[in-house]
Structure 1
Amino acid sequence: MAAVVSIGLVALTGCSGKDEARQRGAGGPPAVVTTTVLAPAPWSDSIEALGTAVARESLVITAKVSETVAQVRFESGQSVTAGQVLVTLSDRAEVGGLNEAAAAYRAAQSLLERQQGLAKRQLIAASQLDVQRAARDAAKGRLDQLRAQVSDRVITAPFDGVLGLRQVSTGSLVTPGTVITTLDDVSSIKLDFTVPER
């Protein structure tokens, strides 16, 4: 009986130690916990880099012919639209030749029409009609050539944009390739730069 009592005491003593440890843990100070509330916030990161801005289109405006400048119709840095006249070159000789060529073409066309009427009635040879048709075509070619020469003396903006520095003045002599100004389409700008790695 003495052995049974001592085993019971040992069992009670072992259980009482676990209960004491549980009671001490439950009764100790609480653990410290830090919390943070998450919310969306703006974030930005900036990088400084050197780059080159390039216009969407860029063009050097030059003369096509050798002639003196009759009128300059723009200023440096001016915004222009496609087709706007920038410079007119002297064209008196070409306009005179154009008027003469137009009169020659009208006369050749009129003579051809009369000869076509005569050819229908077989009053002239077909070869004579062919000669007059060739003369009319030559007059038309000369007229078109002079129209192109007059057109080359009016320099216009090929697209909308901003002009650069004016390189000519009224009375200046320009030759083919003479720079008149530059034109940049700045409706959108291309930016070329490198971004450094971090």
Structure 2
Amino acid sequence: MKPKYIIYPLLILLIGYLVYNKFYGSKAKEASALAGPGKKGKKGGPVPVNVMIVKDTAFSTSIDVTGTIEANEQVELRSETAGNITGIYFNEGGHVQKGQLLVKVYDKDLQASLKQIQVQIKLAQQTEYRNKVLYSKEAISKEEYDISLTSLNSYQAQADLVKAQISKTEVRAPFSGIIGLRNISPGGYLSPQGSIATLVNIDPAKITFSVPEKYLSLIHVNSKIKFNIESSRQTFTGVVYAIEPNIDITSRSITLRARADNKTGILKAGSFAKIHFDLDQIPKTIMVPTEAVIPDIKGSNVFLAKNGLAVQKSIKTDTRTDAQLQVVSGLKAGDSLIVSGIIQMRPKVAIKVVKVIK
């Protein structure tokens, strides 16, 4: 007998057994018994829910924002005149005092011009004195005396001009602070476009940050902040001293600036700061449980209990706490907010209020 005449009947028997077992086996009977004849097509009753009566409440809020540490004063040092560098009088990374000489540019030609003019001034002073005596005795005219006086004043003005030019060959610290790495060397050529170094005063430090415009009424000068930086575990404190008068039209936020003591020098200009800002109390607002709010693509929704049915309502939220959300629009005091069974809620679903939370 050929093998195929044995295999084909066995396959047919196996398929028949599997079909019979699925529809008439013990498991199929148990499933049918559990379902019961009366379960098919029967709808459930009203969904039991808890309801919270919405009311206005006071709310103390705080916000966490990010900001930047800035220097109290910072300037890129440059020379007002061009020339070869004849002296550098500071150490990189060192402290300098206001008015301290930092860099000197070649000025021997100007010094020579000044000496020449000073000699001319002495001669003009003698001439002016003699002419003054002669004029008092009416030996010369007033015009001759005025010429000598004008000559003296002209030389003095020239001397003042050269002195001003000489002062431009000296670069002095405009304020006390720490000077950075220098970009020049002795004997090099310095031009007004060339940077010498950066001078920074970082005590006190400034912290610049922005907050949403909705908090504008809660912000004022002398408000206190707390902040942290990546390079230290210390929590720093600061005081707001200035508020930008204009709101940024792109971000709809307002910029603030605070000061913080930095005697230890831990705070560095350009550092990233995480700021905790305690705001004043909001006297009247609506707070709802977080679990009662259903987010979607367009916004947020809640369900209200009205006449035994669940009614969907769109809302706008703002500040979030650990367990609550602030609702700024969409709800009013007295609304019956469904706070349980949210997963079963659909518009116009029948509900049964089990508990009312006031």
TM-score between both structures, scaled by the size of structure 2: 0.40
Paired position in structure 1 for 2:134: 118
How far 1:193 moved relative to its partner?
A: 4.2
Paired position in structure 2 for 1:99: 115
Paired position in structure 2 for 1:179: 195
Give the structure with the higher percent strand: 2
Matched, 1:170 2:198: no
Paired position in structure 1 for 2:96: 80
Matched, 1:127 2:134: no
Paired position in structure 2 for 1:155: 171
For CA contacts below 8 A with separation 6 or more, give which structure has more relative contact order.
1
Paired position in structure 1 for 2:105: 89
Letter in 2 for 1:131: I
How far 1:108 moved relative to its partner?
A: 0.8
Paired position in structure 2 for 1:143: 159
CA-atom RMSD in angstroms: 1.9
TM-score between both structures, scaled by the size of structure 1: 0.71
Q: Determine the C-alpha separation between the residues in 2 that align with 1:110 and 1:58.
A: 50
Letter in 1 for 2:103: V
Paired position in structure 1 for 2:83: 67
Matched, 1:56 2:107: no
After superposing the two structures, state which structure 1 stretch, 50-59 or 122-131, moved more: 50-59
| Secondary structure class of the residue paired with 2:201 | strand
Paired position in structure 1 for 2:335: none
Q: How many residues align?
A: 152
Letter in 2 for 1:79: H
Percent identity of equivalent pairs: 26
Give the structure with the higher percent helix: 1
| Secondary structure class of the residue paired with 2:208 | strand
Unaligned runs of 5+ in 2: 1-62, 211-274, 277-318, 322-358
Work out which of the two has the higher radius of gyration on C-alpha atoms and give 1 or 2: 1
